[in-house]
Amino acid sequence: MLTYTAHRKQDELAPDQIDDGKGVVFVKDGFSWLAFFIPLIWMLWHRLWLPLIGYLGIVALIVLAGYLFSWPDDLTGAMGLLANLFFGLEGNNFRRRALARRGFEEVADIVADNSEEASYRFFAARLSDQNG
């Protein structure tokens, strides 16, 4: 079982209203394989501009250091792999912080097997809370 966090953009007019799911984002807790394997595309997809700039800076420093200090290609590749590992480990936390900056509030923690089940559990719980 995985843990997901639900983030919802608060609507001042109807904060308790069940909507059609727009404005609710589910973020998995833990390692992000896509952020590890294709961090550049993953960060562009999720509009994570600050981590993207940081990633490009780290990669540029690794390449520059490898060139200036004549590192073997294996060492340069290993350093790049470590950068990818870091973004795989912290990628979903970067998403949470970016959502908070965009006005999303974390409204629930859900334990589920996948994001579809997390969505179902979230909206079922909200619906049952509204119906009493």
Q: How confident is the prediction for the chain on average, in pLDDT?
A: 90
The least confident of 1-5, 6-10, 100-104 is 6-10
d(C-alpha 18, C-alpha 130), whole Å: 9
d(C-alpha 62, C-alpha 118), whole Å: 39
R_g of the chain computed on alpha carbons: 19
Q: How far is CA 101 from CA 49, 96, 106, in A?
A: 12, 9, 12
Residues in the chain: 132
d(C-alpha 5, C-alpha 109), whole Å: 5
Find residue 7's DSSP bridge partners. Answer: 25, 106
Q: What is the per-residue pLDDT for 60?
A: 97
Q: For 62-108, what is each residue's pLDDT tens digit?
A: 999 999 999 999 999 999 999 999 999 999 999 999 999 999 999 99
The pTM (predicted TM-score) of the whole model is 0.83
